[in-house]
Every structure is written in C-alpha cells, then in structure tokens.
Amino acid sequence: MQQTIKTRSGRALIVPTPEEDAAINAGIAADPDTHEVTDAEFAQMRRMGRPRLASPKIPTTIRFDADVLDALKGTGKGWQTRVNEAMREWVKTHTR
C-alpha cells in the first residue's frame, strides 16, 4: 500500500518507496543537466518575491457612492494608496 502525507491544504502526496527513491536519485545522478541540491546550497537560497512588510495592508470591503468611486479611480494608478493616505490624515485629525 502506498504511503501518503497530507499538506495543510488537505492535498494527499504519495511518498516514494525506498526503491523508487533510489531510482529517482539514480536518475538525478545520471542527468548531466541537474544535480541534487546540497545543504550548503539550500542554506544560501532566498525566498522569491517581495520581502514581508512589517505592517502589511489588510484587505477590506467598503461601500462608496458610484460617483465618488469613479472620481477616486479617475485619479489614475495609485488611487487606493491615495485613499489610504487621506483616511490616515482624517484619523489623525479626528482622534485624540
């Protein structure tokens, strides 16, 4: 019977048998275009993409009148950032 492990998303992955694992490693060793990554190489790897933000933005839903939303979007690229800045200023002036 095949051994499986489950990912956090619930997906089942089949774990290769020792024989299958040996065949996979032999295939890697025989292929001149690839190699198995060493621990030292793995330690030097970096995550791809943007670095994590100290205080990331939180997605939310807010209802605007259509004309207000059209005017905001009409200001061009970056309109959400400008709305965020305007809301930040409002909070500064309306809180103690």
Q: What is the pLDDT of residues 36-94, one digit of tens each?
A: 889 999 999 988 898 888 888 999 999 999 999 999 999 999 999 999 999 999 999 99
- Residue 27, Cα to own-chain centre: how many angstroms? 31
Q: Is the model's pLDDT at 1 over the cut of 80?
A: no
Q: Tell me what pLDDT residue 13 has.
A: 95
* Closest of 80, 91, 40 to residue 57, by C-alpha: 80
Q: Which amino acid is at 64?
A: F
Give the pLDDT of residue 24: 92
The predicted model scores a pTM of 0.49
CA-based nearest residue to 16, from 8, 31, 27, 30: 27
